Amino acid sequence: MAKATPAKAEPKLLSGGNPQIAKGYDDAPVQAYIAAMPGWKREMGGRLDALIERAVPGVNKAVKWNSPFYGVEGEGWFLSFHCFTRYIKVAFFRGMSLDPVPPGESRNQDTRYLDIHEDDAFDEAQFSAWVKQASLLPGERM
């Protein structure tokens, strides 16, 4: 009798509903992370990913520390996002160099955040402009 193939386990959700996805490089782990995002955050995660790809063709992707990271080959990472209970936090690692500066402050003097809540108006044009600007700056080596 043949053994049944085990069902693929659903990703575990950590505190705040952040998906636990194994570290990996390329698009597949990022898409797995987005697919595991709970509720409204899944659609927004897909939207963010599509906007980033459109703004930076050929962008490098990875999942590290249970968050998607986006970068430019040889230049490091310029952006990541993370699920929290009530919002998605986008981190621009050189956010203080963006114009205008994203609204969320950080303990790191260079990093700025954009918090996206379910009922917030989301300005795709501004987000895309920040992504394009961020991709042209030296990134973080993580």
pLDDT per residue as tens digits for the range 15-27: 778 899 999 999 9
Which DSSP symbol is given to 129? Answer: H
Structure tokens at 51: 């906007």
Domains of the chain by start residue, with CATH: 15-135 (3.90.1150)
In this predicted structure, the answer to whether residue 1 has a pLDDT above a threshold of 50 is no
Phi/psi region, residue 65 (left: phi>0; alpha: psi -120 to 50; beta: rest), is left
If one counts every other C-beta atom within 10 angstroms of the C-beta of residue 41, the result is 23
* Beta carbons within 10 angstroms of residue 104's beta carbon: 15
- Contact 67/78 with Cβ under 8 angstroms? no
Enter the pTM of the model: 0.89
